[in-house]
Amino acid sequence: MTPSLEKLVNSFASLPGIGRKSAARLAYRVIEMSEDEVKTFVSSIVEAKKSVHLCSVCQAYSEDDVCSVCSNEHRSLDTIIVVEDNKALEAIEETHEYNGKYHVLHGVISPVDGIGPEQLKIKELLHRLDDNVNEVIIATNPSVEGEATAMYLGRLIKPFEKKVTRLAYGLPVGGTLEYADSVTLMKAIEGRTEV
């Protein structure tokens, strides 16, 4: 492999979820591209990096000072869903069932990785808890760190006298008890609802 191909493979391999074999395949694809295709690819990277910033309100990725959700007057100010990252926000948006606002933390508290509350967008969240807000739904991932961050936020928001909730644990729709892990199954029993 030539030196510049090697460098390109290293670049691709440093991206999440790309192993060396995939990185080599991507690098060869780049060499096979036309000059124009390479230009389009490169400019899409440069443009995205240049134009995408954090929404000054909810901290989601946005190309304007205020993102499309925050600036949408048809969305209720009543509820804020707090998520770890933009991927989670997109997943909730895709349900087309939520009409409130969001707040993106950009991570979770993780002492092992040296990430404390001050590195997350928590201060920005507290600033938003005005009279319009009635409920904060904490939708961090169902991991140890997500759970700890949810507990931490719960205590922090309490003095503001807002309802603080957490997403339900339970069986995934379409799943079977047979393949549910025992922690999930226990949570599903604990969280059982009347029929």
Select 29 or 163, whichever has its Cβ closest to its own copies. Answer: 29
In terms of C-beta density within 10 A (0-12 exposed, 13-18 middle, 19 or more buried), how is residue 157 classed?
buried
Q: Which is nearer to its own copies, 86 or 134 (CB)?
A: 86
Pairing status of strand 79-83 against strand 135-138? parallel
Tell me if 17 contacts its own copies by CB under 8 A: yes
Residue closer to its own copies (CB basis): 8 or 157:
8
Site string for its own copies, 35-74 (x = CB under 8 A): x--x-xxx-xxxxxxxxx--------xxx-----------
Kindly identify the residues of this chain, within the stretch 100-159, that bind its own copies according to CB under 8 A: none
∠ CA 82-84-90, nearest 5°, is: 80
> Measured from the CB of residue 133, what is the shortest distance to its own copies in angstroms?
25
Radius of gyration of the chain from its Cα atoms, rounded to whole angstroms:
21
Burial class (CB in 10 A: 0-12, 13-18, 19+), 138: buried
- Binding-site residue total for its own copies (CB under 8 A)? 44
Cβ contact 104:60 at 8 Å: yes
Residue 173 tokens, joined: 């729709």
Burial class (CB in 10 A: 0-12, 13-18, 19+), 127: exposed
Q: Does 96 bind its own copies (CB under 8 A)?
A: no
Reported residue count of the chain is: 195
Residue 8 or 136 having the CB closest to its own copies:
8
Segment lying near its own copies (by CB under 8 A), choices 83-91, 120-128, 129-137, 186-194: 83-91
Q: Which residues bind its own copies (CB under 8 A)?
A: 1-5, 7-8, 10-11, 15-18, 22, 24-31, 33, 35, 38, 40-42, 44-52, 61-63, 85-87, 90
